[in-house]
Amino acid sequence: METLNIVSELSTVDAKIDSGAQLLGLESRYKIIRLLAKGGMAYVFLAKDLKCQRYVALKMMHPKKGIAELDKQRFIEEVQITSQLDHPSIISIYDLCQGKNGEPFYAMKLVRGETLEEILKQVAANNEKYISQYPLRVLLQIFIKICDAITYAASKYIVHRDLKPDNIMIGQYGEVYVMDWGIAKVCTPWETKQLLRKQSIYDFEDSFVRTLREMSDTQSEATAYGQFLGTPMYMAPEQICADFEIDTRADIYALGVILYRIVYLSNPFSQSAIKNIFKEKLKGDLDFSKKTIFNSGCKRSSEILNSVIRKAMAVNLSERYQKTSDLKVDVDSWLHGYATVAEDASQIRLIKLLLSRHKNISLVLSLFFISLGSFCYQGYLNVNDIVIDKDFLELELNHKSMESKKRLIAKLKLEQELNEYRRHISGIKEQLATYNIDEANIKKVIELSEQLVILDPSSKNYQNLISLYITNKNYEKANDSLVYALASYPQDSELANLINNIK
């Protein structure tokens, strides 16, 4: 169903409204006001319910002669299916009627908003208003609501078969509606169990190739009817296999394509011809290397979302998500910093995610272990000093013995190394003084400052190094160095003030 372009269609709008009004008849409770949208099989009008005094959307088949009986049955079945799906993200049906010539039409809730397709196109066109209103986080929350609706439909053994952004309406107040259930399929519970036993579509490859010829004149983003049902860009590969009965996993594939559109604002297939698109679908090779994730402020790895998309769009049915709720959980997990099923996270990955979700706890734990390490090291130094003093006393008392001479030599070497160590620190400080802190020298200055902190971990040297990190916008290293510095100098206010400069 495409949104009406008022300017280009102005000359025919009145005629369509007149035809719709004639179809309703004079005694109808609905008064048509204007045309909202049109599709291949039906029009949608804004109308007023004269009995209830409310505005509704009125969908009716094209008022033309010779409408096929199958099309009428499919139209009526759409109403019956949709009206029995009682879910906040599935549009409410108010009434099913017949026009004066027997043509069916129905009234449904009027949604004031726009389609997800329109939103994605505006975001892709860098429309600042849409980018600020629909960052990736919000778009993924919309996607989760779509998954909720499809999960509910699957619980009623309904397969939508035509999921795409054009059939998702976003209301003015954030409502999400899955629309257009015109080619939905009703599966019996027994049939669904039988379908789930089929694990691969490769047994039907001959059927697949034969039906491709039927698709040559069909647009990749338009709903098609006939031997195959759905929109080629979003159809699962098994949907065009004549000998293969689809199940709810076909909707999961379409959701994977929608997720790809949301994340990358582009189509997952490079080809435009329908036959070539389905050849790409059968290969199942999705290339993410040249794609850029929609920048929205979500500081999460896009590689994990790629794993989710791959699993949703898997050609082999056994590798695809088996339930829409599983796909929803993975997307929600990614949003909130949890591991997804698709990524098969290791224990180290799980620990990292735990710490990233609880940054305050991880900082406290880091400071605790750093403090504990510093305490143990200081204790070791104190014990070592006592041992050195005792050895030196023995050396003085037994200086004539060979052992005493060896220890005396060792002490002299130690003093020599200490002097060399101090000269090395002085040399680094003198070298630092010769550099101007600018773009050309910043990396060399940071390298020397890092060496200086290792040799002389004083509060002042830490401050200088952290400031250099901040100047170079390396906030992660600045944060790590600040944690270590505060562990050694917790009362230093100048160090603490540097926290405000780390973004």
> What integer is the mean pLDDT of 433-454?
80
Most confident of 104-113, 204-213, 404-413, 439-448: 104-113
DSSP E strands: which ranges in 255-370?
none
Residue 457 CA to residue 449 CA, distance in Å, equals 10
pLDDT attached to residue 45: 92
Asked whether the CA dihedral 444, 449, 452, 453 is positive or negative, the reply is negative
Lowest model confidence (mean pLDDT) among 35-49, 99-113, 384-398 = 384-398
Interval 185-222: pLDDT, tens? 888 655 555 555 444 444 444 433 333 444 444 555 65
Residue 2 pairs in a beta bridge with: 38
Mean pLDDT of 104-121: 94
* Bridge partners, residue 186, by sequence: 158
Distance CA 168, CA 375 (A): 60
Q: How far is Cα 109 from Cα 257, in angstroms, rounded to an integer?
A: 28
Q: List pLDDT tens digits, range 321-339.
A: 999 999 999 999 888 877 6
At 425, give phi and psi (nearest 5°): -65, -45
Q: Which of 12-21, 349-358, 458-467 has the highest mean pLDDT?
A: 458-467
Cβ neighbours of residue 404 under 8 Å, at least 6 residues apart? 394, 395, 397, 398
Q: How far apart are CA 370 and CA 150, in angstroms?
A: 50
Terminus-to-terminus CA distance in the chain, angstroms? 46
Closest CA to 31 of 13, 10, 52, 5: 52
Q: For 63, how many CA atoms within 13 A lie in the half-sphere containing its CB?
A: 18
**CA 291/CA 312 separation, integer angstroms:** 18
Percent of the chain residues topping a pLDDT of 70: 67
pLDDT of the residue at 7: 37
The reported pLDDT for the residue numbered 230 is 77
- What are the contacts of 327-332 at 24+ separation with CB within 8 A? 327/147, 327/252, 327/255, 327/256, 328/144, 328/147, 328/148, 328/151, 331/140, 331/143, 331/144, 331/147, 331/259, 331/305, 332/144
pLDDT at 22: 58
Q: Smallest Cα–Cα separation from 297: which of 131, 437, 411?
A: 131
Q: Is the pLDDT of residue 132 over 70?
A: yes
Residue 362 has pLDDT above 70, yes or no: no
Torsion angle of C-alpha atoms 389, 390, 394, 395, degrees rounded to 10 = -30
Radius of gyration of the chain from Cα atoms?
35
Average pLDDT, integer, range 264-277: 83
- pLDDT confidence of residue 311: 93
pLDDT tier, 271 (very low <50, low <70, confident <90, very high otherwise)? confident
Taking 50 as the threshold, does the pLDDT of residue 373 lie above it?
A: yes
Give me 346's structure tokens.
Answer: 């290791």
Question: What pLDDT shows up at residue 422?
Answer: 74
pLDDT score for 260 = 94
Q: Is the confidence at residue 243, as pLDDT, over 50?
A: yes
Mean pLDDT over 137-161 rounds to 94
The tokens for 11 are 């000359």
The pTM of the full predicted model, rounded to 2 decimals, is 0.62
At CA 149, angle to CA 136 and CA 280, rounded to 5?
65
User: Which of the residue ranges 8-17, 118-127, 151-160, 293-302 would you say has the lowest mean pLDDT?
Assistant: 8-17
Domains annotated for the chain, with CATH where assigned, are 2-110 (3.30.200.20), 115-357 (1.10.510.10), 359-501 (1.25.40)
pLDDT of residue 232: 87
The catalytic site residues sit at 162
Flag the least confident range among 13-17, 195-199, 255-259, 478-482: 195-199
pLDDT at 278: 82
pLDDT at 180 over 70: yes
Here the tokens at position 186 are: 């009703």
pLDDT for res 2: 46
pLDDT for 6: 37
Task: Return all residues near 396 (Cβ < 8 A) that are at least 6 apart.
Answer: none
Choose the weakest-confidence range: 311-325, 367-381, 482-496. Answer: 367-381
